[in-house]
Structure 1
Amino acid sequence: MTVELNHTIVPARDPQASAQFLADILGLRVDPPLAHFTPVRLANQVSLDYDQSDDFEPHHYAFMLGDQEFDAALARIQHGGITHYGDPACRDSGQIYRSKHIEGRRGTYFRDPDGHLMELLTRGATGS
């Protein structure tokens, strides 16, 4: 049997709004509620299950996208007036990064409504 990540819990003050925010950027849909969770399912069937919480530390979530999906998501970020950064410390505003280690890999960071650091990145030439 292989080991795969099935889901992870994303704490949010307003789970529906936060799930919709991410789904809109990634071009996905928010799944129907599952118990008290608001799920967003990714292409590899991993689910981000948004759960209501008022007290949490922000987390980092990274999403691998194809080049076209990255360009579309970045356009939605820019069109939505969402600040994005070329570095995880959020200093290089309005930038994307290009990997020094993986040829062709691009990425960017942005914060969701709850302060979670979201990262979008492409596979690059090696496909990993």
Structure 2
Amino acid sequence: MSITLNHTIVPAIDNEAAARFFASVMGLDYAGPDRHFAPVRVNESLTLDFMSVENPTGHHLAFDVDPSTFDVILTRLRAAGVPYGNDPGEPGNSRIDHPLCARGLYFVDDARNLYEVMSPR
């Protein structure tokens, strides 16, 4: 049997706000809460379950996307005024020249979760 990641818990200050933010940037749907989670389906095998916690410690979540999806995500970040950048230590530098791929960026949410979006071209 192959191993795939089914879901992961993403700490949040406000789970629904965090789920809506992530879904809006990434172009995904957020259908509402499920018990104490705010799930966002990323693809057919992965769901991010945002969960409100006291004193959340941010995680790093990295995503590979195709070039056109990267362009749309970048456009959404700019339109929403969300800082982004090519350096995890300085995610607001507005650069997309990523050290590991042709184009990439990082952005952060209120709980200090660091999202990385990488594109091969």
Same fold by TM-score greater than 0.5: yes
Between the aligned partners of 2:27 and 2:75, the Cα distance in structure 1 is 11
Residue 112 (str. 1) matches residue 106 (str. 2): no
Scaled by the length of structure 1, what TM-score is found? 0.86
Gaps of 5+ in 2: none
CA positional deviation for 1:92 = 6.3
CA distance in 1, matches of 2:35, 2:92: 39
TM-score (normalizing by structure 2) = 0.91
Matches of 1:36 and 1:62, distance apart in 2:
24
Match of 1:47 in 2: 47
Counterpart contact for 1:58–1:115, Cα < 8 Å: yes
Q: Which residue is 1:15 aligned to?
A: 15
Percent identity for Structure 1 against Structure 2: 36
Question: Do the aligned partners of 1:31 and 1:41 also contact (CA within 8 Å) in 2?
Answer: no
The Cα offsets for residues 13-70 of structure 1, whole Å up to 9 and x where unpaired, read as 1000000001000100113422211101112420000011022221111111111010
Work out the number of aligned pairs and report it: 121
Give the Cα separation in 2 of the matches to 1:106 and 1:42. Answer: 21
Q: 1:36 aligned to 2:15?
A: no
Larger radius of gyration: 1
Per-residue CA distance 1:68-100 (angstroms, 9 max, x = gap): 01000000001111111111111661111244x
Taking the aligned partners of 1:51 and 1:121, their CA distance within structure 2 comes to: 25
Q: Is the 8 A contact 2:56 2:111 kept in 1?
A: no
CA distance in structure 2 between the partners assigned to 1:35 and 1:91 by the alignment = 32
Does structure 2 conserve the Cα–Cα contact (< 8 Å) formed by 1:87 and 1:97?
A: no
CA distance in 2, matches of 1:113, 1:62: 17
Contact 2:16 2:32 in 1 (8 A): no
RMSD after superposition: 1.7
Corresponding residue for residue 83 of structure 1: 83
